[in-house]
């Protein structure tokens, strides 16, 4: 009965155009395979392999193939002559002669021709992964016939594929306004909203997609991510728990739940998830670094360093800076041996090209360890390396001044302090250290201007008390 109705509509020369029995049957048999082949081909895309799964799914291929079938309430009209031309085009498409069909359409597509010609040409481009000309042709179709729902939907999907989410959102929204609210419209709309960080709208779109298509995991994953990005960590963790029960081997679900646990300040629960992912063999550099951070906070320094080292070896470029920060934390916690092990690997790992700032940070850490271990010669050597690398490194100059002061070389200590005083960031601290050096030599009056200037730059209660003490001693002499 439905095919007879379609055939009758098709025979109406100036009525709404729909495919006849030939289109319904032949396209139904051939287009799914054609779309699958086209969409599976290698093409540059802004989506990850996981996100591309929806484009390769049977549901998408079926619905894309069905987009060739006219929907009478939101379809442009065609003349009798155009109808005959379209028959020739459809016969070529059904025989998989896409290039020939495209050339025929290009000859017949004019400013005054039906939007059906632009749309069909766009579909051919889309199947062949020629996304830019497809978007242009869909754009012409909706310009000619603004209520052309199928064209709006496919145009929106192309913008999602191209990562042009600001254009995808209005196109997919227009599709819904015209009655095209299926899961393969709401789902990509949720993804587009998420990509522009409108997470509340993304949540709403994903919820409808889940309602219409509860079997597709991508929509539920998108919903969980939108909850997480709204800092609704408890909701995100609970949804992940349900999804994990259904898909226990999905590492991305375990990782997302772990991140939610971090947001809930439940790091040990997160560590369990990270360890499970590691046992699956699916750890990432980020997950290993997070695991290391958790272990540091639990004072499990040796295990933490093991996680950091594995993260470094997995992706040294991305994790070096985080490893350097971790080394700083380990140094502050007194874990010197673990810090030295981590620093050694950061410096020697092949392919780990450290910039000047990173090399300075590592040298500073070595200097702090040398100071803590009372390793005088090592301390000086490292500090001098820092200053050689950057003569304006004020912290290293001050540390060198302190070392020389302890060694009794007051002249050299003053030299380093004066160099540090010329650096705006370190001037106040350097003046205080220089004043202390002078007080150590009994030069109280000379120390006072240094302390007063330091207080003008950076007022501090402890320095003020010291200044007052020096003033009293200076007056009493």
pLDDT score for 66: 65
| The predicted structure's pLDDT at residue 72 | 57
Q: CA–CA separation, 364 vs 306, rounded Å?
A: 22
What pLDDT score does 3 carry? 30
Residue 8: predicted pLDDT: 32
Q: Is residue 83 within 8 Å of 19, Cβ to Cβ?
A: no
Q: Express each pLDDT in 5-23 by its tens digit.
A: 333 333 333 333 344 333 4
In SS3 terms, the chain reads as CHHHHHHHHHHCCCCECCCCHHHHHHHHHHHHHHHHHHHCCCCCCCCCHHHHHHHHCHHHHHHHHHCCCCCHHHCCECCHHHHHHHHHHHHHHHCCCHHHHHHHHHHHCCCCCCHHHHHHHHHHHHHCCCHHHHHHHHHHHHHHCCCCHHHHHHHHHHHHHCCCHHHHHHHHHHHHHCCCCCHHHHHHHHHHHHHCCCHHHHHHHHHHHHHHCCCCHHHHHHHHHHHHHCCCHHHHHHHHHHHHHHCCCCHHHHHHHHHHHHHCCCHHHHHHHHHHHHHCCCCCHHHHHHHHHHHHHCCCHHHHHHHHHHHHHHCHHHHHHHHHHHHHHHHHCCCHHHHHHHHHHHHHCCCCCCCHHHHHHHHHHHHHHHHHCCCHHHHHHHHHHHHHHCCCCHHHHHHHHHHHHHCCCHHHHHHHHHHHHCCHHHHHHHHHHHHHHHHHCCCHHHHHHHHHHHHHHCCCHHHHHHHHHHHHHHHHC
State the pLDDT at residue 23: 44
Each residue's pLDDT tens digit, 23-75: 443 444 344 444 455 444 445 566 677 667 777 777 777 777 766 665 556 67
pLDDT digits (tens, 9 = 90+) for 330-385: 888 888 888 889 888 888 877 667 887 888 788 778 777 776 676 556 667 767 77
200 or 373: whose pLDDT is higher? Answer: 200
Q: Which residues pair with 77 in a beta bridge?
A: 16
Q: Domain boundaries in the chain?
A: 1-154, 403-477
pLDDT tens-digit series, residues 284-343: 999 999 999 999 999 999 999 999 999 988 888 788 888 889 988 888 888 888 888 988
pLDDT bracket for residue 134 (50, 70, 90): very high
Rounded to the nearest integer, the mean pLDDT of the chain is: 83
* CA gap 388, 176 in Å, rounded: 65
| 225: pLDDT strictly greater than 70 | yes
Buried-exposed string 89-117: b where 16+ CB fall within 10 A, e elsewhere: bbebbbeeebeebbebbeebbeeebbbbb
d(C-alpha 430, C-alpha 398), whole Å: 6
Considering only CA atoms, which of 160, 121, 177 is closest in space to residue 144? 121
Q: How confident is the model at residue 95 (pLDDT cuts 50, 70, 90)?
A: confident
CATH number belonging to domain 403-477: 1.25.40.10
% of the chain exceeding 90 in pLDDT: 46
- Per-residue pLDDT band for 102 (boundaries 50, 70, 90) equals confident
Weakest-pLDDT range from 86-100, 136-150, 172-186, 191-205: 86-100
Q: What is the pLDDT of residue 44?
A: 59
238-285 pLDDT, tens digit each: 999 999 999 999 999 999 999 999 999 999 999 999 999 999 999 999
Q: What is the pLDDT of residue 15?
A: 38
The Cα–Cα gap between 430 and 450 comes to 9
Q: According to the model, what pLDDT value does residue 279 have? A: 94
In this prediction, residue 425 carries a pLDDT of 87
- pLDDT the model gives residue 111: 86
Cβ count within 10 A of residue 328:
16
Are 188 and 156 contacting, i.e. CB atoms less than 8 angstroms apart? yes
Q: How far apart are CA 136 and CA 362, in angstroms?
A: 53
Mean pLDDT confidence for 173-195: 94
Percent of the chain with pLDDT over 70: 84
Residues whose CB falls within 8 Å of the CB of residue 460, separated by 6 or more in sequence, listed in order: none
């Amino acid at each position: 009965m439905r095919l007879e109705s379609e055939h009758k509509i098709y025979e109406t020369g100036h009525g709404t155009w729909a495919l006849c029995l030939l289109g319904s049957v032949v396209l139904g048999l051939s287009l799914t395979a054609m779309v699958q082949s086209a969409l599976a081909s290698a093409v540059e895309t802004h989506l990850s392999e996981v996100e591309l799964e929806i484009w390769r799914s049977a549901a998408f291929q079926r619905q894309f193939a069905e987009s060739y079938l006219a929907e009478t309430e939101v379809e442009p009209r065609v003349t009798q002559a155009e109808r005959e031309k379209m028959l020739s085009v459809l016969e070529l498409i059904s025989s998989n002669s896409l290039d020939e069909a495209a050339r025929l359409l290009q000859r017949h597509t004019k400013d005054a021709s039906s939007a059906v010609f632009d749309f069909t040409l766009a579909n051919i481009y889309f199947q062949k992964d020629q996304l830019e000309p497809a978007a242009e042709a869909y754009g012409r179709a909706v310009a000619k016939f603004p209520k052309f729902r199928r064209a709006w939907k496919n145009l929106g999907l192309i913008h999602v594929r191209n990562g042009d989410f600001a254009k995808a959102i209005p196109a997919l929204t227009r599709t819904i306004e015209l009655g095209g609210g299926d899961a393969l419209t709401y789902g990509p709309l949720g993804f587009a909203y998420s990509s522009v960080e409108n997470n509340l709208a993304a949540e709403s779109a994903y919820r409808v997609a889940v309602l219409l298509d509860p079997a597709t995991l991508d929509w539920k994953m998108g919903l969980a991510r939108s909850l997480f990005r709204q800092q609704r960590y408890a909701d995100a963790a609970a949804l992940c728990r349900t999804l994990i029960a259904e898909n226990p081997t999905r590492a991305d679900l375990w990782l997302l739940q772990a991140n939610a646990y971090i947001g809930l300040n439940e790091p040990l629960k997160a560590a369990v998830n990270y360890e499970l992912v590691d046992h699956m063999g699916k750890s990432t550099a980020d997950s290993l670094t997070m695991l290391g951070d958790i272990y540091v906070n639990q004072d499990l320094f040796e295990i933490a360093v093991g996680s950091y080292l594995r993260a470094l070896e997995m992706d040294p470029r991305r994790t070096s800076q985080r490893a350097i920060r971790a080394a700083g934390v380990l140094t502050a916690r007194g874990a010197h041996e673990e810090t030295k092990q981590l620093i050694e690997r950061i410096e020697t790992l092949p392919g780990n090209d450290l910039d000047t700032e990173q090399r300075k940070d590592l040298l500073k850490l070595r200097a702090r360890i040398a100071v803590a271990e009372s390793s005088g010669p090592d301390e000086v050597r490292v500090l001098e390396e820092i200053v050689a690398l950057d003569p304006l490194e004020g912290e290293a100059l001050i540390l060198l001044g302190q070392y020389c002061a302890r060694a009794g070389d007051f002249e050299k200590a003053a030299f380093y302090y004066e160099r540090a005083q010329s650096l705006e960031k370190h001037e106040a601290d350097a003046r205080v250290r220089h004043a202390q050096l002078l007080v150590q030599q009994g030069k109280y009056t000379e120390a006072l201007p240094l302390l007063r200037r330091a207080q003008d730059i950076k007022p501090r209660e402890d320095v003020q008390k010291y200044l007052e003490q020096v003033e009293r001693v200076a007056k009493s002499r």
